């Protein structure tokens, strides 16, 4: 009887470990701007693949658009432009056409980091299947002049990429 009990215990233990491995991975985007934290659950990450078959030069590179809504209805948007390595690895900088913005509905104000305003750096850490993980930081500028430029720190995102 003792060997049967041992086998049952081992089977239950393995079953519990298997359940833990298949637990849902949390998808979110978060960052800190000054002392305010932005957290958006289940961000949308949509990739638009390059179309080299038409005459439009504006769609000749891959583009990844990541959007999320925060707890106070603010909208965060990150746009990444593909490089020769594609969109699945490396560093992405605002001076290369990449963009970070947070839009505040209540005040009708946008904090922006792109080629013209502020600065933005995003590093894709990993892409497994369609799950992307990245870290980011920078300085976002309010183009209306209402807010002073704000540092964007502790940025992290984990999202499922879908095709457009």
Asked if residue 112 lies in contact with residue 118, where contact means CB atoms within 8 angstroms, the answer is yes
For residue 1, pLDDT beyond 70: no
What architecture is the 24-163 domain classified under in CATH? Answer: Beta Barrel (2.40)
pLDDT value of residue 30: 96
109-143 pLDDT, tens digit per residue, is 899 999 999 999 999 999 888 999 999 999 999 98
Separation of alpha carbons 135 and 53, rounded Å: 34
Asked if residue 62 lies in contact with residue 49, where contact means CB atoms within 8 angstroms, the answer is yes
* Number of C-beta neighbours around residue 32 at 10 A: 16
**pLDDT confidence tier of residue 85, bands split at 50, 70 and 90:** low
The model scores a pTM over 0.85: no
Distances from the Cα of 32 to the Cαs of 40, 75, 131, 140, 155, in angstroms? 12, 14, 23, 11, 7
For residue 4, pLDDT beyond 50: no
Domain ranges of the chain: 24-163
């Amino acid at each position: 009887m003792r060997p049967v009990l041992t086998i049952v215990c081992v089977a239950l233990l393995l079953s519990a470990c298997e359940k833990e491995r298949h637990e849902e991975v949390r998808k979110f985007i978060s960052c800190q701007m000054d002392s305010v934290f932005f957290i958006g659950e289940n961000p949308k990450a949509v990739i638009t693949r390059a179309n080299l078959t038409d005459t439009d030069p504006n769609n000749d590179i891959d583009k990844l658009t990541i959007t999320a809504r925060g707890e106070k209805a603010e909208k965060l948007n990150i746009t990444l432009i593909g490089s020769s390595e594609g969109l699945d690895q490396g560093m992405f900088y605002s001076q290369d056409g990449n963009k970070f913005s947070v839009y505040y509905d209540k005040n009708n104000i946008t904090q922006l980091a792109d080629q013209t305003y502020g600065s933005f750096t995003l590093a894709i850490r990993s892409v497994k299947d369609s799950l992307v993980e990245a870290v980011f930081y920078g300085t976002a500028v309010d183009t209306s002049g209402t807010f002073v430029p704000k540092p964007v720190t502790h940025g992290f995102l984990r999202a499922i990429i879908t095709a457009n």
